[in-house]
Amino acid sequence: MPALNRNIIFSVLVLLVSVTAGSVAFAYPADSSWFPRVLSVFLALMAIVLMISSRGTTNAEGASLAHGQASQLNYAALVFVAAVSYAIAIQFFSFEIANFLFLVAAMYLLGQRNPIVIAGVATVTMLLVKFLFFVLLDVSRPQGLLF
């Protein structure tokens, strides 16, 4: 499949995700959902920009771009799959377990192979998130089905 088609497919998928997230975010009051609203609009705009820029390339340009962008598209697809997996995992496992596993998987998929770095960054990030949101801001912790 040429890179041109991959870009368009990826931008359509991101556009669908942003429209879905936006429809949920815009259902809530504006005071409590401004960030998800802005994020969903931003994602939609970036997907549209990618779609427009991908449609503007010719076959020769698409062939030359295919080699350079193939690995970037693979990384983007892996992160996309990891994010969807995280959304599913957080429904079943605790917030901490799902976030830790997502961070570990994302770092590994993006090329980090040092287990000390992976474990350290995932642990420090989780401690920082827990402190900022659950201690400092006193946000209620999402519950999973199993934990």
Tell me, yes or no, whether 84 and 17 share the same domain. no
Tens of pLDDT along 76-126?
788 788 888 888 888 888 888 999 999 998 899 888 999 999 999 999 999
Tell me, yes or no, whether 86 and 137 share the same domain. yes
Q: Percentage of the chain with pLDDT > 70?
A: 87
How far apart CA 16 and CA 8 sit, in angstroms, is: 12
Total structural domains in the chain?
2
- The pLDDT value given to residue 127: 93
Task: Find the domain containing 86 and state its range.
Answer: 70-147
How far apart CA 116 and CA 121 sit, in angstroms, is: 8
- Count of all residues that appear for the chain in the document: 147
How far apart CA 88 and CA 93 sit, in angstroms, is: 9
Q: Is the pTM of this model over 0.85?
A: no
Within a domain: residue 29?
yes
Spell out the residues 6+ positions from residue 22 whose beta carbon is closer than 8 angstroms to its own.
Answer: 36, 37, 40, 41, 44
Within a domain: residue 63?
no
